[in-house]
Amino acid sequence: MVRGRISRLSVRDVRFPTSLGGHGSDAMHTDPDYSAAYVVIETDAEDGIKGCGITFTLGKGTEVDWSREGRGAPGDSGCPKCGVGLVGQAGGKACLEVTCGHEILQKGQVGKKEREKQMLAQGYPAYTTSCAWLGYSDDTLKQLCAQALKDGWTRFKVKVGADLQDDVRRCQIIRDMIGPEKTLMMDANQRWDVPEAVEWMSKLAKFKPLWIEEPTSPDDILGHAAISKALVPLGIGIATGEQCHNRVIFKQLLQAKALQFLQIDSCRLGSVNENLSVLLMAKKFEIPVCPHAGGVGLCELVQHLIIFDYISVSASLKNRMCEYVDHLHEHFKYPVMIQRASYMPPKDPGYSTEMKEESVKKHQYPDGEVWKKLLAAQEN
């Protein structure tokens, strides 16, 4: 039932200068500013109901220059290709037959109450990417890794792909710190071609990574399949999906056996329904879902999907974990809650997308207080 008519719609370009500290830096994006196209829809309902939505970008993506959409150079840090997620839901029949999806959800009813209690008590397992951005110095990496270990983190991801010897040194540092028993993942952010990915990971295999994330272009499904086949003997899985914008691409990745870990992105896919279609397909193929959540509000959004996946769809935590980055949560009205390196179920109503108005005003580009100062300093 519609509770009111739309009375106001606002779209604001909100950017955070994360590039100043090297936060979010990787082999493809050396100086990203984590940003969001922040949309608020208000209604004339007496209860003041409103809806808030976010599309995560890397700065320039929020300009939404449609004439260049999809044609930015892959190495252009923050180009629209690397951030715009304003993709509508595709029409037509779902990739899974309705009966198949219904069957999965029916089976998910078994033990559902017990899994709900487990989530409320223990939360959903997470891994951290915050320790090892590519732009961090060795000292920063060591400091953040030591603190993460004190805080109970057991799963770590390191950015790789720009320089092999540099990767070897940094991976050695982090593996020495976390020890052989803790989980290490690697992320190349699309940097390599297929032969290069296989050769590079053969050199990094000694650090025992669970997976290599986005080893090549996210559009190259058969390339991922070839890399996957080559790395199986090394015990390294393929993780990808954060750039996939619809369920059809995921269907092809699954059918081609091109990944061992599926990474939905709550903003990239069009709507909750599109994400749920992918969760159902992942269950059908028995591939664990380990969401991407490095960005503005992505942790807040994806927590709802991943907890639902465990309770109602996958019913398993084997090889499953959700990414966590310790950046920008203070700007949200209902920030994600992490305890014992796990996502605790949100108890506030809604989808956790509402940002604090003070934060939006300060970081609105280019007229917010933060950007006025930074841009003035650049001119001088």
Q: Which of 23, 29, 159, 304 is catalytic?
A: 159
Q: Which of 283, 292, 327, 331 is catalytic?
A: 292
Is residue 128 within 8 Å of residue 322, measured between CB atoms?
no
CA of 270: how far to CAs of 47, 85, 265, 351, in Å? 28, 8, 10, 15
Burial 12-28 (b: 16+ CB within 10 A, else e): bbbbbbbbeebbbbbbb
End-to-end CA distance of the chain: 55
Amino acid, res. 124: Y
* Parallel/antiparallel/unpaired status of strands 155-159 and 183-187: parallel
**Partners of residue 186 on adjacent β-strands:** 158, 212
How many residues does this entry show for the chain?
A: 380
Q: Which residues pair with 36 in a beta bridge?
A: 14, 56
Q: Would residue 292 show up in a list of annotated catalytic residues for this protein?
A: yes
Of 379, 352, 351, 374, nearest to 363 by C-alpha is 374
Residue in 199, 193, 234 with CA at minimum distance from that of residue 214: 193
Extract the tokens encoding 222: 């058969």
Residue 290's nearest CA partner among 267, 260, 250 is: 260
Query: Which two three-digit tokens encode residue 180?
Result: 């052989």
Active site residues: 159, 292
